[in-house]
């Protein structure tokens, strides 16, 4: 391995140390109670090293959220590139979001942490940067619904509104996983999500 490759790997390792420490502190203390000094201590790095990679703790948390959204986007894009009818793509998109929430739990929890909070943590340029990542996922769903409409499978007047409704329904129902012993007592969490996706798709089909 050459010097250039070694330095690149070391930078990536340092960056991962920082992100792992920030993720741990976020869930333990919350964003406001977490400082750069605490992140440095948790990561076993100098404060100066943290500032070499990031200007502020908000940049670190924005980076975490963007990474999670990028992983999710890549999953959804793979589905959208499949040669499937639009209804099957929507079902698979729903399935992939559930899988992402289970297999990439840390990233999913980061996304949910900021979505569920009534506060806006990021300055406008950081928020805009993060929101652009989320908007790319919505665009893929819009394109899927639009393709279904053009093929005659769906009757969607406003594909973007439908896409947001679809995504919001999925995200909300994934939270119900925590209620498996109460609200969902006797019902399978995944079956409920499949039911919701089928109901949504049938709604697109049955519009006049």
| Distance (Å, whole) CA 112 – CA 85 | 30
Tell me the pLDDT tens digit for each residue of 37-59: 999 999 999 999 999 999 988 88
pLDDT mean over 86-103: 95
Return the number of other C-beta atoms located less than 10 Å from residue 2's C-beta: 7
Residue 123, classed as helix, strand or coil, is coil
Q: b vs e for 63-77, b when ≥16 Cβ sit within 10 Å of the residue's Cβ?
A: bbbbbbbeebbebbe
Task: Name the fold adopted by 55-206.
Answer: Tetracycline Repressor; domain 2 (1.10.357)
Token readout for 131 is 């929101």
Q: Is the pLDDT of residue 202 over 90?
A: yes
Q: Is the pLDDT of residue 96 over 90?
A: yes
Identify the top-confidence range among 27-41, 58-72, 106-120, 150-164: 150-164
Q: Are 1-54 and 55-206 in the same CATH fold?
A: no
Tell me the pLDDT tens digit for each residue of 141-163: 999 999 999 999 999 899 999 99
Which CATH superfamily groups domain 1-54?
A: Homeodomain-like (1.10.10.60)
| Distance (Å, whole) CA 138 – CA 163 | 6
Q: Is the pLDDT of residue 208 over 60?
A: no
Q: Is the pLDDT of residue 30 over 90?
A: no
What global pTM score does this model have? 0.84
Q: Is the pLDDT of residue 114 over 90?
A: no
Q: Is the pLDDT of residue 13 over 60?
A: yes
Look at residues 204, 198, 96 and name the one whose alpha carbon lies nearest to residue 142: 204
| Distance (Å, whole) CA 2 – CA 98 | 41
In the Cβ-directed half-sphere of 43, how many Cα atoms lie within 13 Å? Answer: 25
pLDDT mean over 170-181: 86
The pLDDT of residue 122: 75
End-to-end CA separation in angstroms for the chain:
63
Per-domain residue ranges of the chain: 1-54, 55-206
Kindly indicate the confidence band of residue 106, based on its pLDDT and cuts at 50, 70 and 90.
confident
């Amino acid at each position: 391995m050459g010097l250039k490759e070694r330095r690149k790997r070391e930078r990536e390792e340092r960056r991962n140390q920082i992100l792992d420490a920030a993720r741990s502190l976020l869930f333990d203390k919350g964003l406001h109670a977490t400082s750069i000094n605490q992140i440095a201590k948790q990561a076993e790095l100098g404060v100066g090293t943290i500032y070499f990679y990031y200007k502020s703790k908000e940049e670190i948390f924005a980076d975490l959220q963007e990474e999670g959204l990028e992983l999710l986007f890549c999953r959804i894009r793979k589905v959208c590139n499949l040669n499937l009818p639009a209804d099957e793509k929507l079902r698979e998109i729903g399935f992939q979001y559930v899988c992402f929430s289970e297999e990439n739990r840390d990233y999913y929890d980061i996304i949910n942490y900021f979505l569920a909070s009534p506060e806006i943590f990021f300055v406008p340029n950081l928020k805009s940067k993060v929101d652009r990542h989320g908007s790319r996922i919505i665009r893929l769903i819009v394109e899927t619904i639009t393709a279904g409409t053009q093929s005659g499978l769906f009757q969607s007047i406003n594909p973007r509104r439908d896409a947001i409704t679809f995504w919001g329904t999925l995200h909300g129902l994934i939270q119900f996983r925590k209620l498996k012993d109460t609200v969902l007592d006797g019902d399978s969490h995944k079956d409920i999500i499949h039911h919701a996706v089928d109901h949504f798709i049938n709604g697109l089909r049955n519009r006049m």
